Every structure is written in C-alpha cells, then in structure tokens.
Amino acid sequence: MRHASERPHRLAVRGPQGDLSYAGLAVRVGGAARRLSARGTGRGALVAIGLSDPVALLIAVLAADLVGATPLVCDPTWERERREQIMDVVPVDARVDDPSPATGGSSAEAGSPAAEGRPEPPVGSPAGNGARWDRPVEPVGTDRAWACFSSGSTGRPRAVVRTRASWTESFPHLSALAGIGPDDVVLIPGPLSSSLYGFAAVHALATGATAVVPGRRPSAASLAGHLRGSTVVHLVPHRLPAVLETLRETGGRLRTAVVGGAALDADARALAADAGVKVVSYYGATELSFVAVDADGSGLRPFPGVEIQVRTAPGQSLGEVWARSPWLAEGYLAGAAGPLRADGDGWMTVGDVAEPYLPGEVLRLRGRGDGAIQTGGATVVPEDVEEVLRRTPGVGDVVVVGSPHPELGAVVTAIVEIAGAEDAPPPSRAELEATARGGLDAAQRPRRWYAVRNLPRTPAGKPARGLVAARLAAGDPDIRRLV
C-alpha cells in the first residue's frame, strides 16, 4: 500500500492475463478485502486459497492479510476429491477456489453470494470491482500471516504455518544478499503454492520491485521473453542451466539468480559467472525458512540471524542439522505429523544430514536423513551419488533410491532423466557406470539402472523421490531398465 501511494504507476505484477501497477494492485486487493470482510472473514480466520491464476492468487492472499486472516495457499492442480480430503483434515473458515472443471461453476468463495447463485466478483479476480476497503487490521509480528503445504517429495501434504515476522523481517537480509531493490524486475517461474516461489513474490512486492509471475513452469519461448526484461530470477537448481542457455541464445539483462531447494554444483555456478549472472544459493526448508546462504561460491554459511548445530551421534560421521533463528515456522496446522522436530530450547530440525560443523566453518550438507540408503552395512546419501551421475552426457537429472535386497537390505538404484529432444536416446549403462567408477566409492555405485523421459517433480520443481520409488516398485512401464 505504501508503494501504491509513493509510486502508483510502477508496474507491480505481470501475469498470464496482463499487468497491474501498484495503484491497480492496491485497488484490487482493497476490493477483495472488502468482499471478504462483508462475508464475515476477519482476524484469526484461516482462508484456503487455491486459484490457478498467480495474480488472482496474490490478490486473494494480500486481501486476506489486509483483514487480518491467515491465507493458506493450496495447490490449484489438486483434483476435487483430493482437495476435499485435505480440507477435511485442515479446518478452514473460508475458501477461495478455482471452479471444478466438472461443474463448470464460477470461481467463488465457499458460502459466498456467488456460490449461492447471486452475482459477486471472485475474491481474487484481477478484474473485480475497484471499491477500496479502508479498514486494514493493524499488522502484528506474531500474527499467523502465512500458511502453505509441504510434503517434501512424498507423503500426505502438511500445512506449515508461520508468523508475519518470521517472513517479513528476513526481507531486508535477502535484499542485501541478492541486491534486490525497487527498480528490479523479478522473475518467479514456478507455482506460488510452493513456499520458495511464494516467498519470492511477496518479497518482490514488499521491496517495490516488479514481480513477473507466469504461473506454473513456462514454455521455452515464454521463458525467453520473460528473461529479456528480468534482472533477477528465483528458481531451483535444475532450472538454472536452461535459464543460462536461454540467455546465451536470446540475450537479456539478468543480473542475479537466487537458487534454493537443493544443492547447487560448482559447474552451474561457473556457467552462471561466464554469463555474467551472480548466483545466491541458499539452504532451507518450508518449516525452517532460510538456514544458510552462499552468495559468492565459498560455501554455505549461516543466513543472518541463524544459529546452526550439526548433532552427531557417537560413532557416526554425519549428523542432523538443527537451526535456531527468528525465521522458523510455528509448526503444522491441525496437529499434523511431519519431519519438523523441536528440542524445547528454540532449536528445530527437519532431519537433514551434514558433516560435523563448527561456527565459522562452511556447512557441508549431505542430504535428507530420511532418504539415506542402508546397503550391506554402509550408509549411502542419495544426493552424493546424484551429484556425480549428473556429469554424464545425456543425463538431464537423476534420482537415486534404495531397492529392497534380501541379503544387503537395499541396493543403490539410479533412475536417470533423459536430456534433450523427445527422441533422444538415454545414456548407455556403460557410460553411467564409467562415471560412477570415476567418482564414487564401491558402496555408492548403483547396481540397478533405469531411464525415464521425464522425472515426476514436486510443485517446487524438485524431483519427487518418493513418487519415483513408488512408480519403480509398481513396475511403471515408462521407467525402462538399462542393461
């Protein structure tokens, strides 16, 4: 609202349906807040928002915030039955959903006049009426101001809720690390239901920058168009090579890539440097927010305000990463179970694994603890194996899982995603094994090899390890054995 007053004509958001200035965005948010308030939605209410248009979603989120409610950002791609099952578990006070294709109804909040057949603009509609709502609730840092779902790469989604301060007070730190200011154009090429992309959009608007929100993964052609005008991009590591290749082919003025969600290898950072793009990579989790950041390629170090411990059990070479900071989430809604644990002294963990760590040193992550493979008495961290195998020509990405074995407990199994055109052949098993021999210990080397055209991914764009393992176990014919 301050940006709308001070720079009303500055472009705030660019989405699939067009652009909105800060003044235009303020009008839409105000009108949506007025409609929410008229329906009895106010301070402390939980509002589930599942709009597929990213600008409409942002309008609904900001309107909920304006009336003091907590927006719960949902995945609009959920099928109706799945959405209803999840809503049964997480009791919400209001809903702003896309229409079900099966019903052909108009987008409306459940229980609203529109849902009952009377005309009413959808809460998140960019084309809704322009009536302002001038009774914003005074924001408090301890308010529950954001909630979204996190399932990692498998399992039932869990709704993570966090306070206003746990997000907004980290904004200046990210701005300083990445050099993001009000004159930037920030490309956010992913679903806002992912905390990674949702945070990026809200941060850009808080900064006064322009948020470019194309929605779910844009095509190669639209990515090139967006990159030509963008100065900053937020993404996950596997998307960085495509962005750099697009820049090489079509040009642009991209200055900074903010990369989170998984480990970033040194080769990708070097390619970015050759393209004149600064990379700010970070490690965190939906439940923990920022934990560590690498702004110059020297390694991960604590994000401002974060304390880190790696707690190693006797006789173990790796330990769990614990963090204590102002950025931690409150926990899961409705008492859901999940990987988040707390120790009573303000420390939390989601089970990620790292080498022993001392303050002042670089944090060396080794993966998620629940993904470790026990094979013949050895512990193999999948991410270690995946990092090496990605070097093989023809590999777009790779997931490593454990397959049951009657004597060893499990064997290391690699499922590689084929790079290139739809008719490109997979890399040969001989090539993959040569790469494994050159960079992995004997226990780490996969014994079973498979190829797939496209790996299933989470909404954030990371390979869905649990889904890959399930499909493999079920004998999915699209996953072909390499012999």
Q: What is the pLDDT of residues 42-88, one digit of tens each?
A: 999 999 999 999 999 999 999 999 999 999 999 888 888 878 888 88
pLDDT, tens digit (0-9, with 9 covering 90-100), for 105-162: 333 343 333 333 333 455 565 554 445 566 778 889 999 999 998 755 444 668 999 9
3-class DSSP state for residue 314?
Answer: coil
Residue 77: CB atoms within 10 A of its CB come to: 14
* Secondary structure letter of residue 214 according to DSSP: -
Phi, psi of 405 (to 5 degrees): -140, 135
Helix, coil or strand: residue 376:
coil
Give the up-direction half-sphere exposure of residue 185: CA atoms within 13 A in the CB hemisphere.
17
What is the Cα–Cα distance from 220 to 378, expressed in whole angstroms? 42
Residue whose pair of structure tokens reads 């004159």 in the numeric block: 183
Q: Which two tokens stand for residue 436?
A: 């494994």
The domains found in the chain, sorted by start residue, are 18-138 (3.40.50.980), 197-369 (3.40.50.12780), 372-481 (3.30.300.30)
Q: What pTM, to 2 d.p., does this model score?
A: 0.79
Provide φ and ψ at 130, rounded to 5°. Answer: -95, 15
pLDDT digits (tens, 9 = 90+) for 167-207: 999 999 999 999 999 999 999 998 899 899 999 999 999 99
* Rounded (10°) angle between helices 54-66 and 22-38: 60
